[in-house]
A = this chain, B = another copy of it.
Amino acid sequence: MNVESYLQRRQKRVDAALKKLIGGSEKPPAKLVRAMRYGLFSGGKRIRPILALASGEALGTNITRILPFACALEMIHSYSLVHDDLPAMDDDDLRRGKPTNHIVFGEAMAILAGDGLLTEAFRVMSEAALKTGQDKPAALQAMLEVARGAGMAGMVGGQVADVESEKLKPTRKRVQYIHTRKTGALLRASVRVGALIGGASKRQYEQLDNFGASIGLVFQVADDILDVEGGTLKTGKRVGRDTDLNKATYPAAMGMQKTKAYARDLLGEALSALDPFDSKADPLREIARFVVERAVPTNK
């Protein structure tokens, strides 16, 4: 399979679904809708929703049932970026080469747009879960996993640990603590959501969750490598910005060579977890390879 065309197709599918979710009949203030949409449609690659869909695909599920939960994951990811960019947080004026939300709409609106995206994510999941034909306990478990992945012991907790660590030496333990939570937890939750809505057996769920744990980390490891070695295109950020800020990164904690070896180890773990699955899990396999290859090419 061609992973790039797969990713593009899925991205379009997610974008089309997301467009329908913000707005609606109850007439929220127009400026709020604009600020929420600006946060949601700013060139994101939709990795979390695509992981949720691909996990469902690995089980042979019709992805339409997973789509609303996939969109909710992206809404939560978007809110976190809007809040992370705020002056009181990372104080970023640009994201993916475009002015950040608070630069365009002002700080108050950016805070509220983030709050709105987070809240609407749960509205979207509740609505989807109530539909006839959805397995209600599975949908509730998926919502719980999303809330855990995004909450105080997940993404928000990781962001706090990251902010707190700026004055501290980045040790491997500290970096691992931050990234399993800040980015890993929601990525892992994405895979869980696909598995749950896809009706995974207990054993299938465990294997997919192992895949999710590895993939959740390797994204950040690859990102850290690209940030040092030339990731401007990818992130729209200046190369080396994380190092400037003495941020907790893997290369800073364990050196570049060990970081690259760690990325390949995680890829190996991710792929092993998928051994019990047939070719329907190829999208998951290819996504994992794609992420690691960009940062640590085999033939270089």
Contact = CB atoms under 8 A, between A and B. Distances in A.
Contacts of A108: 88-89, 163
Interface string A98-129: 00000000111101101110111011001101
Contacts of A27: 153
Given A108-B89, A153-B26, A159-B112, A147 B122 contact: yes
- State how many copies of this chain the complex holds: 2
Interface of A, helix, strand, loop or mixed by DSSP:
helix
Given A88-B111, A156-B116, A122 B136 contact: no
Contact of A83 (B111, B150, B152, B161): B111
Contacts of A126: 140-141, 143-144, 147
Given A28-B157, A89-B108, 7 more contacts: A29-B157, A32-B160, A33-B152, A86-B111, A122-B147, A126-B140, A136-B137
Interface of A: 22, 24, 26-29, 31-33, 36, 79-80, 83, 86, 88-89, 106-109, 111-112, 114-116, 118-120, 122-123, 126-127, 129-130, 136-137, 139-141, 143-144, 147-148, 150-153, 156-157, 159-161, 163-164
